[in-house]
Chain A
Amino acid sequence: MRFLRPLPIAWSMLIDKPSRLVLSVLAVAFSVVIMFMELGFFNGCNNSSANLPPHFDCDLILSHIEKNHLKTGEEFPLDWVFLARDVEGVAASVALYSGADYWWNPQDSSRNRVFALGVDLEDPMFETDVIKAHRKALLEPGSVLYDRLSRKELGRVETSTVSTLGRISAKVVGLFELGPNFTYEGHLLMSADTFLLMQDQSRNVVDLGLIRVKPGADLKEVRKRLLAKLPPIALLLTPDEINAREINVTTRRSPAGVVFGIGLLVGFSIGIIICYQILFNEVNDHLPQFATLKAMGHPPRFISGIVLYEALLMALAGFVPGLVAGAGLYKLIEEFTQIRMFLTPERVLLIFALTSSMCLIAGHLALKKVHSTDPADLF
């Protein structure tokens, strides 16, 4: 337990000056909040743009090889869906139509872009439970399911709300939850028939094919057989792969991901600078005392231990209020923008790790000063 010896001294030094402690804790908490916000936006951006994959109930998703994101266009012929049905190991294969269109706010008639999905009502493989529950109502052309988490700009929409959607008059027959993203204000679910009507699209032009393999069949083998049968411009991905690709596309290609990524880095750097400033002052004030400890025969690592434990304690003390404030702000942002911020345990841990390393890096920088002092100069 030798390495724990500096801990009580670090603790006593921290609490010795309560005013400075409060300031330090607030400063750390501040950078924690910044990091939480940036990570929240970053992930909110990613999660929102990758909001579709979790709702698939299929094993493989078929698309045109050029379609690099679920919400970009690049269609393929319906034939592929039928071709897939004949492949050994495939249980079912259905078409999914998707695309953006305009939604008129029923209250003020303002127009916003929404993302619509047209599913096979018999075997949707997307939001299956919701579709099944509303199957009957959706059979009626013009019936749609409305995403409750759509942005408020779309108006107050409830079951039985009627409004204009693209070329048709749409009637909301039920609600579901998907969440908005940075590109579209809301989402709508409907039957393939309604979708084709809305977009005036040919049934032959398909956006995605959803494929379910037979129980017990080897997914890899099935995928191989499918690819052999389908034209080379066909792409087959699992929902997980699609999810990873969606996030990757947002992070790498869309400026929003980069912006928030940089924001996270900036928050981290600000944290290092603030912590360094605090620790440097702390070290500077105690320099003769540290030098005395060195003179007495305490090894340099003991003094490093004091400073680094101070840094860690500061990280801990600042993280808790930072987490609380961050969580509060998340709620507030979700309330105002309907963008989900997702405070998952992994992300809390990530921010904690970032906070600790932020303080430890600052501590290491401040230590340079300690180790450059010569105890001989005390005399």
Chain B
Amino acid sequence: MSLHSKQEIAIKVTGVNHFYGKGDARKQALHDNNLVIHKGEIVIMTGPSGSGKTTLLTLIGALRSVQEGGIALWGTELTGLNPVQQVEMRRNLGFIFQAHNLLDSLTARQNVRMSIELTDAPRADYDKIADAMLASVGLAERADYKPRNLSGGQRQRVAIARALVNNPKLILADEPTAALDKESGANVVKLLRKLADERGSAVMIVTHDNRILNIADRIVNMVDGHIVSDIRVRENIIICGILKKCSLFKELSPSDLTDIAQKMKEERFEKNSVIIRQGEIGDKFYVIAEGRANIIIDSDTGTRVLAKLETGGFFGEVALLKDQPRNATVSAAEPVVAYTLSKPDFLSAIKAHKSFEEQMGNSLFSRG
């Protein structure tokens, strides 16, 4: 199981601040935003209106000039690009808007051609390329229709075809499903997912539509210009699954689990390596996601294996709760993937959940 595969970085946002207005009216829209999006990832940005997610999207889309901090698309820094260079940069991107913004006087094919014309493709191939793209969004039969003769979902699919036809490495979508009914919306996101997987494009979607959250690899939540959470959806589900299995967290609601899972970091250990050592200061709490570990105690009577830990097992909490050195050594019996929670996060999680504290007590009690 690999949760953090080594992926190519598509977008790297570092320390981005953005301001609107001048003088007294100057207002900071983004505060020290950091974000990395990998190739093939679909990232959904959520957050209340005015939270800065659209600002961040337009900055990444080279539609605004970066003021402070850095945004790199495939290693190319956007800061300092002049308007002409921004236009050039945008040709590598695919844009999908809430209003499809198709040229209403052109047919679906001609609309898709508007994108192809930006490339070096031979003119004679334009129609062929456009038709193939329209076929892949299921509109082969509608190539000669003008937008006014297409349904809302079909129009959005033409817009997607137009955005994707040049195989952009990054697709930026703003509420792509907001104007669509449930079924059309589902089809559109399925299509985006499929094309992102096939073509390895990174996709960034700003949306309030929680019906489509399930296609995301990551959900980034913004509030008041800050990125307040960045949930790796698949990983989150896995961690929650593990947390759910371990007795300590059994009673927690999914959202509580998600809160904890978000703060956890993955760590890997070789077979026979020591994860924590008896007598050291405890700084982390561990949950085993994969593999097995042994709890070993050194005492006057010698070294002995006190217990074996399986997947879903956890350790390290006693030292954190009692502010004591580790009371045992834990070593990997086989390669181990563990999720760790730092001491402050662990303690604040406990404070936040009264029942959790009680359980903790129980668990300490039951361990003896």
Contact = CB atoms under 8 A, between A and B. Distances in A.
Interface string A272-315: 00000000000000101101111111110000000000000000
B115 A379 contact: no
Interface stretch (B35-43, B87-95, B354-362): B87-95
Interface residues of B, number: 30
Interface in B142-182: 162, 174
A12 B110 contact: yes
Contacts of B57: 379
A16 B206 contact: no
Contacts of A12: 103, 105-106, 110
A241 B90 CA distance: 63
Contacts of A291: 101
A65 B63 CA distance: 72
B330 to A, nearest CB: 50
A90 to B, nearest CB: 71
Given A293-B114, A376-B58, A299 B101 contact: no
B54 interface: yes
Nearest to B162: A296
A6 to B, nearest CB: 10
Contact of B117 (A5, A289, A375, A376): A5
Contacts of B103: 9, 12-13, 286, 289, 293
A295 B61 contact: yes
B118 A376 contact: no
Contact of B105 (A16, A294, A296, A374): A16
B293 interface: no
A199 B127 CA distance: 84
B38 to A, nearest CB: 23
Nearest to A306: B103
B115 A295 contact: no
Contacts of A5: 117
Nearest to A295: B95
A297 B87 contact: yes
B104 interface: yes
A375 B65 CA distance: 12
Contacts of B63: 295, 374-376, 379
A109 to B, nearest CB: 68
B97 interface: yes
Nearest to A1: B123
B88 A292 contact: no
A375 B59 CA distance: 12
Contacts of B174: 378-379
Given A289-B104, A379-B58, A296 B64 contact: no
B175 to A, nearest CB: 9
Interface string A10-26: 00110110000000000
Contacts of B66: none
B91 A13 contact: no
B337 interface: no
B58 A292 contact: no
B102 interface: yes
Given A12-B106, A12-B110, A376 B64 contact: yes
Given A288-B101, A293-B114, A297-B88, 17 more contacts: A9-B106, A12-B105, A288-B97, A289-B101, A289-B103, A292-B101, A293-B103, A295-B63, A296-B91, A297-B89, A297-B91, A376-B63, A376-B64, A379-B58, A379-B97, A379-B174, A379-B206
Interface of A: 5, 9, 12-13, 15-16, 286, 288-289, 291-299, 374-376, 378-379
In the A-B complex, the 8 residue pairs with the smallest Cβ-Cβ separation, listed nearest first, are A16-B105, A297-B91, A376-B63, A292-B101, A297-B90, A12-B105, A376-B58, A13-B105
13 contacts: A5-B117, A9-B106, A15-B105, A286-B103, A289-B101, A289-B103, A295-B90, A296-B115, A296-B162, A297-B88, A299-B84, A375-B63, A376-B61
